[in-house]
Structure 1
Amino acid sequence: MYVPPHFDEPDREVLYDLIENNALGVLITHAASGLDANHIPFELDRSAGELGGLRCHVARSNPVWQDVSTGDEVLVVFRAADAYISPQWYPSKHEFHTQVPTWNYLVAHAYGRITVHDDERFVRRNVAKLTHRHEATQPVPWKMGDAPRDFIDSLVKAIVGLEIEITRLVGKAKLSQTKEPRDIRNAGEVLVAHGDRGVGPAMLATALLKSERD
């Protein structure tokens, strides 16, 4: 991923938060059958290894777990938010007419080495953790014990676990940082007014920070 210095997000904790709040990642592999991409919810373990680890599971019928070998390098892409930015939202455009449209976004790329876990214990633990995290906001959280044991056992046998040791974590926050604070702020306010809850607030925070620095 091309990351100009002004769009770089180096804060590991910020990237961890992005991953946890946008758990559906795109697992990109390049193995025996060629280039492949799978959309999978991941569980992040911040304490695993030097940069953390990612765990997930896939259907046994999905060839990805047989296509990769332990130690293969993979990439997982997590996208937090994105938004089209009209030049009409920049006050400076109406003065100088030197602005063009762009697209802003927040993403994290996790590179790492993959391990296949055809292991019922690993799979069951991963499913339980994912369920616990994403059911936490429900009035009555669902848990695996709510379903018949033989039903859960049959489902667990039908999936395979994957684990990725993160070796490199790259973040990009493209939020019009090259523009004037007033342009960033106004574009952010327009997005928020239209219901955006991702890029808009991030642009407002960026405008404030840039104003303080300038």
Structure 2
Amino acid sequence: MFLPGIHAETDTAVLLQFIRENPLGILITNIKSSQQDFLQCTHVPFVLDLPDESGESAPQGRLRAHIAKQNPQVKAMIEAVDNQPPNILELDDDVLVLVNGKYDHYVTPKFYVETKPDTGKVVPTWNYAAVQIYGKLSLYYDSKTPETGAFLEKQLHDLSEHTERSIMGYTGGDRPQPWKVADAPERYIELMQRNVVGIEIRINKIEGKFKMSQEKRNGDRDGVVKGFASLGGETGEAISALVNVRGELHDLKRQ
């Protein structure tokens, strides 16, 4: 990821919160395989274990997920580590996870109300936010082993709990109760677990950016804020607010 200083976010707490709010990530691997593509990716929702929840073995935190056993990416992983015991497999090389923010949008030069009429030296761009994570991946492959069984049970519970409550807002009380894994037949869940593998990534490096017009002149930035506000809708209003907040943070740092 290209990280110009003006767009880079260096506060780890902010980046971790970003992952919590945007659990769907893209798991990217490069594994030499006799049958699968060298580069593989899978879209998958992640559970984040914060550093204070992860212990000394993962001082920067962990990502957890589960994906289908028949996924070509999993097959490439198995091929790469076929000489290890079947309960927990570890890849030698780092993997990459990319998490995109919920809101992104094309930015028309017409929003640059200061520079466009002044010099005309403006071009379109795209505003977005993203975080990338590098880390070591462990694969919990055999659901019959105690380690994998326990991992998958916790993973399924934690993911449904997080997404039901934070994404859907099902918190009980005046809101509906969240769906729980226990609501499904036990035999059905056992069958599902046999067909997935657990993914655990110990975070080694985390980086991110908010490209939200911080580099623009104040007049142009105000034009972007008003321009997106005028678009209306959830995305327009959200990006307008993000441009305003990120612009203010940039101005404070300059002071």
Q: Verify same fold: TM over 0.5.
A: yes
One-letter amino acid of the counterpart of residue 140, structure 2: H
> 1:64 Cα deviation (Å)?
2.0
1:86 is aligned, of 108, 130, 137, to 108
Which position in structure 1 is the counterpart of 2:150?
121
* 1:178–1:124 CA distance, 2 compared to 1 (3 A): same
**Contact 1:185-1:207 at 8 Å conserved across structures:** no
Q: Which has the larger radius of gyration?
A: 2
TM-score by length of 2: 0.79
Q: Is the 8 A contact 1:28 1:38 kept in 2?
A: yes
User: Given the two structures, how large is their TM-score scaled by the length of structure 1?
Assistant: 0.93
**Partner Cα separation in structure 2 for residue 29 and residue 5 of structure 1:** 27
Q: Which whole-Å CA distance do the structure 2 matches of 1:27 and 1:107 have between them?
A: 14
Deviation, 1:66, is 3.5
Residues 1-214 of structure 1: pairs in structure 2 closer than 5 A: 1-33=1-33, 34-47=38-51, 48=54, 49-68=58-77, 69=81, 70-71=90-91, 72-80=93-101, 81-92=103-114, 93-118=116-141, 119-136=148-165, 137-138=169-170, 139-194=176-231, 195=233, 196=235, 197-211=237-251, 213=254
**Contact map agreement 1:106 1:199 (CA 8 A) in 2:** no
Q: 1:76–1:149: structure 2 CA closer, same or farther, 3 Å change rule?
A: same
Tell me, what secondary structure is at the counterpart of 1:5?
coil
Measured on the aligned residues, the alpha-carbon RMSD in Å equals 1.6
Deviates more, 1:185-194 or 1:77-86: 185-194
Higher strand share: 1
My pick for the range that moved more, 176-185 or 116-125, is 176-185
- Cα gap change, 1:192 to 1:16, in 2 (>3 Å): farther
Measure the CA separation in 1 of the matches of 2:222 and 2:159: 37
Structure 2 unaligned segments of length 5 or more: list them.
82-89, 142-147, 171-175
What is the CA deviation profile of residues 14-69 of structure 1, one whole-angstrom value per residue up to 9, with x for unaligned ones?
11111111111000000023001110110011122221110000111113234224
How many aligned residue pairs are there?
214
Q: What percent of counterpart residues are identical? A: 33
2: CA distance between counterparts of 1:210 and 1:3?
Answer: 15
> CA-to-partner distance for each residue in 1:164-194, whole Å, 9 max, x for gaps?
0111111111112221122112202321332
Report the CA distance between 1:154 and its aligned residue: 1.0
1:145 and 1:199 map into 2 onto residues whose CA distance is 38
Task: Identify the range of structure 1 (178-187 vs 191-200) with the bigger mean alpha-carbon deviation.
Answer: 191-200
